[in-house]
Structure 1
């Protein structure tokens, strides 16, 4: 691992860059976030020269290193011009981008990525580096989406599913306080999955709805008690598409905070993101802050 300036602070906001416009936008978003949190910004470029050393010449590897350092310098200068008081560090890594970002983020930092990289299609889909970074993270990851879609809305949206999302809601409340914004807790439940079958749904939909509203009310009461000066709105909605409701709600938020549940894999590694999480990372209209969790436990929060 090579550093062009110095190693990151343990609580730095870390952002990955690859020369693409979404990555540059993510770097500027991450810089604003670092200023807001009063933390340094650490800019990382993972070139994977170690992984490609067997089939690249020494001359080509040196060209890649030079280009990477130039990219880091240019990005740091752009960030410093926009935020002159921000402490900025950079790192050129010989490993792949995902490994480099996780290593730089450590256990307590926040990692920021753009919504697609140089290898991505010119579409709204999340690139493979961003997706892999989010899917394997043990610390919070922000996928920066929705830049340029309008003015700030003054709202942080938290997607809450059950009582295990209390820490996610608390994290979202702190984010809202940092932004001097309000907090909206949104609980979306799939009517068909909750009912099990049509007959049960027709007989007990009212009771099912009451159970979901009770979960939301309990979370809301706790957040209001802990953050008495924060404006908190809570909504429970039923739909056959949880992701669809959350995507639409993200149009009216500056940040979407959600717990990143992972569906078990055949090897039990838990590296696959759940369907709703996957959809939000691809289609949300605002940046998505993913708090990693597996099963009923959060892995870590800074």
Structure 2
């Protein structure tokens, strides 16, 4: 077991729509992803009419549901025009968006969300729905960041922290094969300011790269063995900020794939310090692969 949630096959791609520009970008990304996989695209609009909103009349509930159905129909027409062979299903949910998306994805789907919704969030920050979905993910979640029509970089980037990230690297390899691009495995270790010899020993020392080379070689060797037709580049870096280095590297990636970890004091089983930084600041879409088993207590 490598600690990553197993996937028996390509489940359907589930994406939430709310009429915002960010959601539209996410929908178009999700449609392309579903077409590449040969899977179904599920559009979910959460009317949230079950919420105990004061003074919400029956007529207002009816109007809300009608508007949701119209949004689903318009979106389907746009997608079908671009991907005529893609199977698209629609779900108009009465409950809150995070629950509706998780229910639609079940245990095998991939959830896609935009980086912000209709609320008053900064364009750099993840909206509340995306934050809740990413934090409690049990299936892969993609937060679509970057330009609406991104320039293809020709590579999928996978962040590798330790040997348990082979499952994350495997998911990234599949994405690279779908896109017919190379896979870049990036292992970054922190070399923060050391205070005295104990700190240097604890951090492994700025000059001792051997443990990190072993980690990267272990993961890259397995991926090359499993995906012999894929071009795999493995790179190790040391720096003062692991999330900062990954954000910089995302400038040159079509997709960044990272394994989610549980970190006490952060936002849920998948979203820790590093993953939170990436879904808020990366320059390309970020795919979070939920982690289970040993290693789930680290700080990524």
Same fold (TM over 0.5): yes
Q: Secondary structure at the match of 1:142?
A: strand
Partner of 1:154: 154
Which whole-Å deviations, capped at 9, do the CAs of 1:203-225 have from their partners, x for residues lacking one? 75256421111111111111111
Moved more, 68-77 or 198-207: 198-207
Q: TM-score scaled by structure 1?
A: 0.88
1:210–1:79 CA distance, 2 compared to 1 (3 A): same
Q: How far apart are 1:93 and its partner, in Å? A: 0.3
Q: Secondary structure at the match of 2:192?
A: helix
Q: Secondary structure at the match of 2:291?
A: strand
Partner of 1:226: 226
Moved more, 148-157 or 123-132: 148-157
1:164–1:44 CA distance, 2 compared to 1 (3 A): same
Which whole-Å deviations, capped at 9, do the CAs of 1:71-119 have from their partners, x for residues lacking one? 1111111111111111111110000000000000000011100010001
> Structure 1 CA distance, aligned partners of 2:159 and 2:293?
16
1:149–1:284 CA distance, 2 compared to 1 (3 A): farther
Unaligned 5+ segments in structure 1 are 1-9
Partner of 1:6: none
Partner of 2:12: 12
Does the aligned pair in 2 maintain the 1:261–1:295 contact within 8 Å? Answer: no
> Structure 1 CA distance, aligned partners of 2:150 and 2:68?
32
Aligned residues: 285
Partner of 2:288: 290
Partner of 2:258: 258
Query: For 1:17-36, what aligned pairs fall within 5 Å after superposition?
Result: 17-36=17-36
The structure richer in helix per residue is 1
Unaligned 5+ segments in structure 2 are 1-9
> Structure 2 CA distance, aligned partners of 1:220 and 1:271?
26
Partner of 2:276: 278
Does the aligned pair in 1 maintain the 2:25–2:148 contact within 8 Å? Answer: no
Q: TM-score scaled by structure 2?
A: 0.89
Coordinate RMSD, CA, aligned: 2.1
> Structure 1 CA distance, aligned partners of 2:264 and 2:251?
30
Q: How far apart are 1:272 and its partner, in Å? A: 6.6
Partner of 2:143: 143
